[in-house]
Amino acid sequence: MNIIINHSSMVPIYEQIVDAVKTQIRKGELKEDENLPSVRMLAKDLKISALTVKKAYDALEEEGFAITIHGKGTYITAANTELLLEEQKKEIEADLEKAVLKARRCGISDEELKNLLELILEG
């Protein structure tokens, strides 16, 4: 499992793990009944606290994307990938709305915003 953590991001590390796992489920890289790395193993690989990984796994379990079997590990559960994609799109839309509002507060015109978005998408 490939997870990249951005330590300078404003997004908490456990949420970055949750988002990465959900994305890998949606892309089919993680499948139902697939075993996730142990909490200790992932913590060691990412050089973060085991408590942070545990929090991420607990969140995944709470949202129905994983199940933990004591003594055996944490496994991916069946996921509705279309529902997951819609959830992720809604999160992105909300983030973009915040960015547009901030840009407007800073006096950036809609045309300038459009140009910025095009630059971002190109690069």
User: Residue 49: which domain range?
Assistant: 13-76
pLDDT at 24 over 80: yes
> Does 72 lie in the same domain as 29?
yes
The pLDDT of residue 50? 97
The pLDDT of residue 67? 94
> Does 28 lie in the same domain as 69?
yes
Q: How many domains does the chain have?
A: 2
- E strand or H helix at 83: helix 81-105
pLDDT at 79 over 80: no
Measuring CA to CA, which residue among 36, 44, 32 is closest to residue 1? 36
Q: Which CATH number belongs to the domain containing residue 39 in this structure?
A: 1.10.10.10
Q: For the beta carbon of residue 56, count every other beta carbon within 10 angstroms.
A: 27
Measuring CA to CA, which residue among 91, 17, 87 is closest to residue 59? 17
The pLDDT of residue 56? 98
Distance CA 60, CA 37 (A): 14
pLDDT per residue as tens digits for the range 26-64: 888 999 999 999 999 999 999 999 999 999 999 999 988
What does pLDDT average to over the chain? 92
Helices (H) and strands (E) in the chain, counts: 5, 2
